[in-house]
Structures are given as structure tokens and as C-alpha cells.
Structure 1
């Protein structure tokens, strides 16, 4: 019978029992008579028709209706079964006593219990009824009690058994609930109906602990099972609830927690290698270690995952029992767990399995902090092999000698010392374990493998067993020094190769004709420096910058300094004439012999009469046996990419040539593969990048297949001193300096309140959405939430126009802007939020400061640009990202403010380039404004963590959001 929303009505909630789903609620509206009493005229209400009765509903009613809808049998079937199945087919099949689906039953029961609990906690102040057998919704009213009842569990131990039963009190009065027709409608937590009253309980009592006593006085625990029962049932009960005991003792005890890390080896690891027992076979070791956290309180130890304010241990002495009720200091435990997580030990369920090398490196890195926090380190199992967990160190010293670096190293594990030679053998073979004389296993830390891998790979031993490093491994030595990994003694001259600008000026040869440009003179200085230290080099300037003239100048200086022997210049045939002409023009004193043609004189003894022998790659390949008979001062390859394939005949041929010095000239040292680089570097400085197989494994594969940036950085560091490359843009009209700054702002109290409110709302909504619908279907909601948080981090007015509080970032922007204007700077201000620009525009108008403005709605873009460029007194240009990120030339600005960070750093760079471009004469200062402790700061951290995402792959907000994992999302919203 329909109820009219225009007539007086009352919403009520009716409780009934479903054959399979347990207790359910349904929502109804009931027509009221003239006296305001309920009538028999009622109508079921759901989320679909609830808006019709909105005048009589509040927010809680809408929540209750939605929850109750989700509990109806049709909704349950739809949630757990994609097919359209009728209830009379679905439930009997799932709940069949012999063939039913027990797993699905448990899933459904859990689903229903969660919703029952949510419904019950919202019923206070609502009218609730038991439904009559005839379907009458308001048959018998149930009073929802305001306060929670308390439960006391009683145990009475005697000679034969133990009696166990609970008592219930409400407002201090005992509740007689046994044999009174009481029933439990929700088990977790317990809700009980008794005599028309609905009871809830303190401490979230489990309904399963009350249900047996609804029609039973007590439970008897026989003597023969009491010890098991006391440990498995009574102890947890004492930990969580109020217990009265007779016949055994309950002692409440207080101690400070001592954290314990139990270390054990994951089964299945291979055997180790002993440096001290030469008879043991060498085997590669790999494996993992398990760290397990627990806390020791006095004599009691509890697993960290045994969480609760109280833990209980049972002690049996003779025939007596004592329950030790230990109060846990959860704040102290939480602080310990946070320390472990922040130090890199990301435990799950307070346990973690990690690589051995990582595990022991972590122990060593955090040793002082672990001792300070009174950690105890236990090794599990006496029969298993014992690992060395003491202090270890490596001390490396590098000293410059005449033609090499001497390596001195001391490696210690506790009191035991290992030679560098032996350790190097292990690490080169990736063997990470060693047995110490006392039987303990020492694990070589992973950090040594990464930090010293090149040193171990490139170091050589002479006949006396002394470890040496070729001098062209200068960058590797500098890397060790910069990383505080070695003490380095090096001459000031050699150190100057760190920065090309520091190289000493070399006198130009007297007979040079013409004038070197400044950058050409710098290149000549560099070539002279390489000569002094007998380093090979690669002059890789852009085409047209004069590689030829720089090389000829150096060769002329060699002649004037009395260098012996001719130098061999090898190049493509097409370049021979050019070299001849350049030599004639700039260095006419150099005697040039062109070794080409079918009738060439194949007598290498005649080379001594010349300064330069010019030839082609083809001739070298044919005449290699002849050319190897002469010892050249220099062998120089022009367009050296000709030897990029190390297996080619020409690459093999030029490596066989004998020379005091080697150079290569190329505009493209890297054409197809990183191996191009190895081949050319191996020619000028053999061994610089290790063997071909080493280079492939250590650099080529990680860089080309995995985009390993750390390996790329290391490779660049090794080759950098021996490659000089200048682009035309560098040596033409150079742009002024660009200075980048990050300006951190703090949320104001009002702003923080708004931020936390929105964060809490979206965090709960998003995580619940992820749980119910999955990560992919939550992306739109996540993007919406992140956008709102970013806007509030800027200014809450971007979200709420009525907000009348302040913004920490806006205060900082205005302060910085006022100072910049006062100091006569011109400023570009970018934001992706037009509302953000509008707030700043209001401030400028109040201050009567003129400004140019550009967003998507601006009609005369060029007019705004010209006004800013051509009006000296106009200092500020407000620009939206989408409208002004590209295509603008604003070289009059010398300050760029980025009000909010965008997802893709490349977009920021494009914005800054509006000012920092050809035509700019001033130093450009950029300020990126970031609000601390907000999603802005976390997005930047996440981009650094996800390096690939911070490049061109992140082009939109949507693509950024799609890349996030659930842990990333939880971090952003934490």
C-alpha cells in the first residue's frame, strides 16, 4: 500500500531473519494518523525512491537505506554471481549441507557481517522494530540502548574441572540474559536483542563468546584439556576482556620493550667459499635472509604481529597456573617499527625476506642506531651455520705513480683481515660469502659490489703481486675520492683534468699561421694536456668547429718541441685533400706525405723524413703488415666511427699499429650502439672500459635494455676526461645562466584544516573504492581527489569560493613578487589553475600594479606579449600553462615563478624556456613553489623514485595516475 510523501509519515527499520543470510534489516515509510501514530499503511523504501521522502530523512537515513539495499538477497547474488540467478536457485545450492560451497558461504557471511555492523552503529535515535511473521514491519518496537553494556568473563577452577561463563551489566545493573529468549543478531562485534532492547558491548566483544550461554549456565572445561584450553582460549580472553578468576592467578606486569631481530637463512641456499681453507671448492653463493621482529618485555617475548594493548603468557608450576598479563607499550613499539621502515626495512607482517648482501649491509649501516635503541640480534637455530654480524670495513688508498696508480687496501671482518687480491677474486666472480677462521660466514656487502666493481674489474697485478690501475682510469679514481670510498693522492696537474676549464694554457707554436678562436685554443690546450700524460683522447666537436686545425696545431707544437717520429693520420679518402690544404694553410712547416694510390712507395723507413703521414682506412687495412713496422708518434683517426664495430678488419688493424700516442676525431662517437663507444675508447686507451664481454655485461646491457641511469652515469664519468665535445650552440652566442630554486611553503592553520578534511574524505573513499572496484576503476576518483588536494595546497579558494582564510603559499608568492618588482625585475608567473592566477590578479589590482594576462580565453595573445616585452614599467605577466607553455618569446623577463608543480617536469622546462632562450641577455631565476607536507611534495618525491615516469612518459595527469600502485596512492594520501 503506497504512502504519500505529501501526508505525515515516519521512516522505520524492521529486523527479520533470512533462512540463509541471517538477520537483515529493511527500511519502510509508514503513514501517520491524525495523532501522529503509526498506521498499517506502509511502503518499502530503497535508494531509488528515497528522494521522494527527503523531507523526513537525514544523512544517516540515506546511509542506512543504501546499506540495507546492499544486504537484500538480490543484491547479494549480484555481488557474488555475474549470471542472472533467482534466489530460490542460488541459495539452496550454495548452502546445501552436503554439496554446498563452503568458501563462498564464508565470503557471503563476511560480507553480511560487515554491513550488519555498519547498520547497527547508525541506528541510535532511529525507530527499530521486529518484523511480524505476516510481514508487518512495525510489529514489535526495539529500543536501541544509548550506552554500551559490559561483559565480565568468569573462570572457576576446582579439582575436577573449570567452569566458564559470562555476566553482563548495563549501567551498573546485572542483565539476566540466560534462558530469556535473547538472540545475537551480529557476531563481530556482538549486538544482542533481549526483551525488546538492543544491546551493544564495550571492547567489541565477539558474539560467538556470548551465544553458547543464551541457553546454558556455564561451560565445563575438563581437567585433561585445561592446559591447552588455558593457552589457546583463556589467555587471549584475558588479554582483551575483563576476567574474574578463581583457582588461578592473573598478574598484571609492566616492563619496557626491548626490540629483537631474529635472523635466519631462507632454506635452499648454496654453500660458501672459504678464503682461509684452500682445499674447499669454489662455489657461487646466493640466497636470502629472513628478519623477524619481536619484543621482549622482562622475561616474556612477543611476536610483533601479536598486536594488542595486552599480551598474556601462561606459566604452569606443578598443578598451579599463573597468567602473566603484560601491558604492551604500543607507542614505543610503533616508533621502533617506523625506524625500521624509514631505514629501508619495509616489513610485511613484521617480517621481511631480503638478499643476504642487502641484509648484512643494512645491519652494518644501521649498527650504531640499533645499539642506541637497545636492539638484540638473534640468530635462529644453533645447528644452522652462523653468520658474522659484527663490524666490517674496507679501507682503500690510491697513490699516483709515474705511469699508473698504486692500490693499497685493507679489508676487515671483525678481527680477521682479507687481502684485496683475494677479495677481488671473489667479487669479480660474484661470490659473496666467505668462511672466517672461527667458522662464521661473512657476507660481502652488496655496496662493495656496486661501489668498487670498476676498481675490482680494472685493477691489474704486476709480477710482484702489487695491485695497480692504469692512469687513464683517472675518472674512476676521482669517483672513489668523491664518494669517500678511497683516500687519493694525486698531482695537482692530473686533478685539473676533472674540470676542462682548469687545464693550463699551453703556448701556441711559433710557426702557426692564423689565429685560433678561444674555444679552438681551449681544445689545443686539452690535446697538449693529454700528450703530457700519454692519454688517448677523442675530439668530438660539432662539424665545422675546427677539429682539423686544433689537431694540426698540436702536431706542430710537437715538432717544435722536438718530438721524434712521424704521426699517422687515417681518414676516409674524401677527406685527404682537405687535410692537405688545411696543413698548407695553417701549419706549412709540417712536412706532409700522402701515403695513397696504387703506386705508393711501401717503404716505412722513409716516414722518418716527414712529420705527418696521411692515408685512408682502406690503405691501412691492406698495408697493416707494413705499417706496423714503424713506431709513430701519433696515430690519429678522423671520422673514427669507421671503427665502431670492434670485430671489423679495420678496427683490428688500427689496434695493431704502434704509436706513442693515439687520438680520434669524430662528430658522432655514438651512432648505433653503446658498443660503438667501447671500440673507439679501446683504441685510444686500451683497457679503459675493460674487456668487450665485461663492457657488454656491465654497461651495454644495463644501459640499452634496462635504461640503468646509474650505469650510464658511471660510464660517462669514466670516459668524460678523454672526450671533448662542444656544440655550436655552446661556442656561438651562449645563453646566460639559468638559476633554479625550490621555494617551500607551509600550510596555514586554516588551510591545513581544509587540507586534512578533504584528504581524509578522499583517502577513505578512494581506498574503499579500490577494495570494491579495483585500482583501474578508481583512477577518475583518485585524479579528482589529488587535484582538489593540489588546489588546496595552493589556496583553498580554488575549491571553496566562500573560504575566507589565508594560504601559506600565496603569502610567500606575494612576498617574493613584491620584492622582485621593487628590485626592477620582470616576472613570468605560470599556473595550471586559472583560478589561482585570478587570486593573484586580485592582489595586483588592489596594489594598483599593472600586469599582462594570458589564458585560454585571451583573444589578443600577441598584444599581451608585445605589451609585456615593450613596456618597461609593466613587470608581471600571469600565464596559464595550457595557453602559454609553448610558442611565446618573452626574453624581457628574468624571473619565472611556477606556482604549482606539474606532473611532467618537461612541461615546466618549456614554460621556463619562454624567458631562457636566444635573445635573453640576463641571468634567469626560476622559483618553483611547493607546499610542504602535502601531495605536491609527495608527487615530486614519487617522480624522483619513478625516474622513467618523470621523463617524457608522463605527459598528462591521467598517465601519471595510471602509473600509480596502491602503495603509491596510500603514500600520497597519508
Structure 2
């Protein structure tokens, strides 16, 4: 399989290149250029970015590389236009237009790290280009022009030559080159007019301006009026949608719309536009500005305007169609986008709605009832308000907050308010359906019991509830619950889930439906409901291919059908400006706050600690029950020191079994499907990888470090590091330096004792305690390897627990009894657990499912 090179923006704002397998054929020139780019980035990423600006732009690259090539090319163009560049050399400073940076940030393709791209980041990258050029030219002995020719034979740095004959001849070489591509310039050259001052008619000026890009590509510095820079003013049609509030809510609500003729940002009348049609010289002066006049296009625009006025009087637009017009406004008028300049703007009502969706702090607040136990942070309350506002509009919502920011508690607060509203209105309750991976059932149940104990819920899963099938036959019984919880797999299996009419369908880990062709995705999309919410910690803008399926569930039809979206994807693959329109369309329905956001970071603790619950696999359950039976029989016939030894050994065995059956048995290949912890670890690490963040994973068992490292290598698609007590002290420094380096080393697996002392690993964003030491002091010491002086990131700490096992019960004991905050199983002296009665011990050890 072929490999293509991509550029990823890392969490710290640096650029990182990585190879991705692809089914696409890559020609030889693209392979060679990609290899050269990779080598340069590997040596010096900033110098690699500068090289991108000068490399052959006729060779097709991946969208991420193309984006950064376009960025660096803009720097190269500005560099080539700089007067006296040869004199300035390393003292040159190339300025950048701040407005251009904002627009360029909006046009970023959907790719890993795109959420980190902003005008501020691009300004930093531009500064790095300046530094890289100054550094390179300072050490170069030849001329600036020779330097640039080495980078790119098609781009030349020019100067003003005054009366220097040799330099003038050199300049004329570029003019002759341009004349081969431009008949207009060739005529001026042949007649000799080019060498004298000229007074042009508007038609001649228009001919010249249209070909400026040709002249500049040949190395000619063109000084053109500001009103022509960028896109010249052209007559266009603007469709203003949603000035008045519709009578109904939802994507099918009908909106009024208005049609206007615009000249750039200025409205003109139909009579003024018709006067323009009489101009035949290419340029006309109207409203104090010069305007490009193409009679054929102008006539087509006026005809399309007349058609739009007829549509306006005959019918309205559905909200869904109105929003989709932002991608292809010409579709409403059935015209060619290349011929007609057509745009869409939001009317007064729709504009106020979109502003609130994009700025949720503008939305009026509604707090959950007193029965809700969680104290919401400010940004979490804003998230709840945002969900309620979308609820009032009947729009689907994607809650995509960073991992650790509390998406679950926000959704529970939202459901609490819905339940209160049902009660206040006197209307009958309608259950919502939560669809999640089976591995998350325990987490949700725990969060409900902890934060929203009054919420009536039912788990539709045989592993958690033996009545799952029976309950489903009774619709009234279903609606007696506020929330029914099931899995993606059971949505296909239980027909009653498909036939019931739900209030909300809520998906957690929504990437499970990113492939629209799977049975799982089709089954979920066939569910009947009033509205929909998806939750994901993974950036949904990483891949264009995943986006359509998620929005097809969330707000069906908003991105068109799959055929239309594939065609749109091909078009923006060629013209990246379409990404800005796509982002504008989907952004109102996505709420994503990062731990680094200014609105969030002041509201967060330095360490975000969360318990991560895993369920036992079938194999683990069988072995756990057998181990429990064996212990019961043994302790009934032993006492004293021997009994204590058996209890301590048994606790160790339970820990091993909760990690993975193969650790307990001492055999096997550590199949991930045989361990609930391995499955949960995958889900967490897939999100960490999508954000290119780093992880520390602690285990107290040295024998688990290698199996875990091999498992993580498969998720992160690259090697990580392992550190345990058997590794010589001399080698540890090198291992730490590798992890702390700017290169992407995604994880380090550490045995708890080896990783607990004397290490500084502040590159990590996440800490996972895969198994519990049951001593908070020891665990906190390990966590502080990531959270130390010098740490600039918020650290998320995941403490793994297997549901219904001794792990969960001892964790509860630690929380409930402050006197157990020291070692529960002490090395000396009497310990609480070993002194328990047999009945108490078996209650501690028994499995509850």
C-alpha cells in the first residue's frame, strides 16, 4: 500500500509530518517531493515550512500539505515583491495582513490538529518563516535571487534597476517569459509601447489587470491599485434568509427570504445594474469605485435575480435548505457558480440564533433542580444552556468538549431539566435513549447515581439487567423511565428499540457511526425520536469522510445526501476555500471547548481526576467466580498468619485478573477482547491520539509493562517507551529525554515504583492508573511525575476500576473512611482487611453484576 505525507498541528502549535497509508496511486514526482519535504521537516520544521513555499506547486500534495504550502507560498510571493531585497538581505522583514490570516485560518481543511489553527498561530508561523529566511540568507554567499532560484526556478526576487543596463536586460528576460503566456503583453512588447509611459482606456486596463497573476508567476513585480487586490468588485446576488421568526421550529421550518443585488459590500438597485450593462469597456466607475464589467455574466446575473424574485413571492425556504445554501448558494437559482457571484446571508432572526449558538454565553441560563447533586462549573452551565437552546429550536447538538471537561454531567443536567419540565407542564413523560459502547455502561450508571439520583433510568442490556427483554415489550414501562441505556450492538438486536418513539437519542462515543455503510450506523439512524445529541471527545473535524455520517444522524439533510457530499468533497479537494463555508455551516451545532481555552482554564483544577469503570469480560467473570469460590473454601479452614497470607495473595490475584486473564493465568497473547480494561484503554487512547497528546500509564506489575506497550503501539501507530525497576539508572535519563522531546513519542508505560520517584515528565497530558495501588499517597506521587513545576498543561488522571469487583469496593472504602487514606494493606502491623470476618471478606470479594 502507498503512503502519503501529512502535516499535523500538535497541541503545542508545532508542525509535525507523518506518513499515512493510502489506497490512492502516488506518482513518482509526488513521492520524491514528499520525501524531500519529510527530510527537511525532520531536520528543521521551520526550514521545512520555508521550503514548502518554494517547492513545485504543480505537484499534487495531500490537503494538509497543500494548506501549509499555500501559506508558505504567500510568504514567498510577498518576499519576491519586496523592493531592495538584495540590499536588505537578512534584515528584511516581510509583513502580513492580519485580515488575510483570519480568512486563511477559516479555510483550513479538516485534518488532525485543525482545531489548533487560529490567526494567532498563523502569525507565529509567519514569524518563523521570517526567521528561517533571515537565517538561511545570512549564511548564503550568493545573491538573494540565486538563493530563491535554488529553492524554486519559477520564482524570482526583483529589484528596481534604474539605469543599470545589465540588470535591465535580466529583467527583460522575465518580461519575454510572460509575453509567451500573454498576447496583450506580447503586443506591447512588439510595438515598443512597453518602454514608454502609456495612457490606457478602461478596456486596456481591464485586460492588463486580468493577467496580473500571469506576470507575477513569471517574476514581474506588479504595483496594482488596492481596489483590485484580492477579488475585484463584481455584481452579485445576495440571498438574505430568515428575517422573521418562523411559526414552527426544527430543520423543516419555513423561512422567508429576500434577494438583493450587491456590488462587493454595497447594495445597488436593479436600474443601476442595468446601466452597468451598457458599459462595454470592461471597467465602469460606479458608487465611487471601479467595477469589472463582463456583459455576458452581468446579463446572466440579472436574469438569475429575476428568477429569484419570482421564487421569493411563490414559496419560502426550509431552514435546512436555507442553511445548506451556504455551501452552494447558486443551487437555489440553478446557475453556474463560476458564472454568477451568489452569496447567502442570515436575516435578523436567523442571525440572532446563529450568534447565540456560536457564543453560548449570550443564552439565558436555566439551572437544574435541587435534586441534581453536581455543582456545575461556569463553562458546564453554559454547555447546558446551549443544549436547552438547541432543544427549543429542535436542532441536533454535538457536545464535543475535550476529554475531562464533563460532557456526561452536562447531559445529565440537561435531562434533569427536561424531566422537571415534563412534570411542570403536566404532560406525560417520554423516555430518552442513550446508546453507548458496552464498556461505558458502568461509568454512566455511576454518574447518574452520583449526580442525578432522582433520574429514573433503565439499562437495556442482559449483562446489567436480566429484565431487559421483558421491559421492552411494554411501551408504558419504557416511558416510566427518563432514560433508557443500551449499546450500539443491541440497537440492531432489540426490535422494540427501533419501534419506540423516543424523546431524545443520545450517542456517547459517536464515532461508532462514522461509517454510514455499517449495519450499526443504519440501525441507529433508523431510531424514531424528537431530537438528537451526540457526544464525543474526539475532534470530529479531523476527517472529512466521517463528518457526513455524523451530521446525517444529527441533522439529516443538512449536508445533503451522500452523493452530493462526495461531489462537494471532490470540489474542495481542488479548491480549499470551500472549507470555510463548510465550517460556517456546521459550527453552530458543535460545542467544543478545549482544556487550554481561556474561558475554561481558569475554571479548572490543575489536575482533573476521573474514575474510569471497566466491565469484566465473560472469561474474566468465570475466572473471578472460581477464584472467589476457592478463597471461600480455603479461609474457612485456615487462621492466623496463614489466613492473612492467603488474603493478601488473593487480593493480588484479583488485581491481576481484573487487569487481564492472561496476567492471572501467566499464559496467552493478551487479547484485548478478554479484558474490559484493555477495551476502555483503547477508547481513551484513540481520543488522545486524535489530538496528538501524550500519555503516562502506570501499573504496579512489571510483567504488564510490555503487553501494555505493545497494545498501545497498535493504537498510536508508533513506538512508545517503557520504564521499570530493571532498567539501569544510566538508561533512564535517555528514556526521559526522548519522552520530553518535541518529537511525538505518544506514551510511556511505567511500573508504579520505578515511575514514582525522581522523574519529571511534564510533556504528558494524561495519566492512567491501569491498576490501583490502593494507597492514595503512592498514586499521587506517580501522578505528580506529569504534574510538576514546568507543567503548562492541565493533566487528566484516569483511575481504572472494574465494576462490581473488589477493586470498586476498596475504592469506596478509601473514599468513605479517612482513616484508610494510608496503606490499606500495610507491610507491617495489623491491617483492616486481613482482620475482617469471613463473611465481610466474601462481601468484599464477591462479584456483583
Question: Which of these two proteins has the greater Rg computed from alpha carbons?
Answer: 1
Q: TM-score, normalised by structure 1?
A: 0.32
Higher strand residue share: 1
Q: TM-score, normalised by structure 2?
A: 0.37
Higher helix residue share: 2
Higher relative contact order (CA closer than 8 Å, sequence separation 6+): 2
